[in-house]
Amino acid sequence: MARYRNSQDLGIFIGAQFINLPRGEGQAPVPGIFIPAAINGIDVRADNRDETKRNASGFRAFINTQQRSCSNRYIEAVKQGLMRKGEQVTLYNVPAYQVCYMLPEEKRTKIRAALEKRIKAEHPEWAEQTDTSGTDLARAISTMMPFQMGDSYLIEEQTQANTHMNVSAPVAQGVTGYSSAVPIDDNSGQWAPADEDLPF
């Protein structure tokens, strides 16, 4: 059975911020990603499972994604990018699927309505437009909506057994304030998408 690896861009979420979470006196702040829950349709619930199975955070927050076929135009753009870099095109460095964020229609409708108010406040010239296909307003809303999160690649079968690391991180308990963190300008992540990703 084929296996796939995927990279997901958490920066697509509405209002996402890279922040420094303060800790105790004399301790360096912890850089982290803050994702607003409601505007992104994320339900956060207490984790009431048995203590041995409960998340260390004390909550559960699922998101749903789906793998969708890539368009021929997108695949060709990725292949051209690889060839420009002098890399060989293989089954393993060209996306097999795109990873898309899925929301129930009811949540999508509410989020789009909230974004419509915000965008109309920023663009009074669109006050008479509706969120219907082809309008500037609809395009602006769609651009902000989280959807395409990344790509999924076929994994080359290995003869050696894979080893996994289980890394535990400290849990932040009380958030009283934060400051903006500076993202590292490094695109060398092992599963990072290609630079030629096109926003279709």
Q: What is the pLDDT of residues 96-113, one digit of tens each?
A: 999 999 999 999 999 999
| Res 139: pLDDT | 97
Residue pair 65/100 in contact (Cβ under 8 Å)? The answer is yes
Exposure b/e, 21-50, CB count within 10 A at least 16 = b: bbeeeeeeeeeeeebeeebbbbeeeeeeee
Which segments of the chain does DSSP mark as H helices, in order? Answer: 72-84, 105-122, 136-144
| Res 185: pLDDT | 54
Is the pLDDT assigned to residue 152 strictly greater than 50?
yes
Mean pLDDT (whole number) for 25-35:
94
Residue pair 62/43 in contact (Cβ under 8 Å)? The answer is yes
Q: How many CA atoms lie within 13 A of 193 on its CB side?
A: 23
Quickly count: other Cβ atoms within 10 Å of residue 146's Cβ.
22
| Res 160: pLDDT | 57
How does DSSP classify residue 164? -
The CA distances from residue 41 to 35, 99, 102, 107, 111, in Å, are 11, 17, 10, 6, 8
| Res 168: pLDDT | 43
pLDDT-derived band of residue 23, with 50, 70 and 90 as boundaries?
Answer: confident
User: pLDDT (tens digit, 9 = 90+) per residue, 33-69?
Assistant: 999 999 999 999 999 999 999 999 999 999 999 999 9
User: pLDDT (tens digit, 9 = 90+) per residue, 119-128?
Assistant: 999 999 999 9
pLDDT-derived band of residue 1, with 50, 70 and 90 as boundaries?
Answer: confident
Mean pLDDT (whole number) for 173-177:
47
CA distance 155 to 5: 6
The CA distances from residue 147 to 22, 26, 64, 98, 197, in Å, are 31, 40, 11, 10, 14
**Which position has the higher pLDDT, 52 or 170?**
52
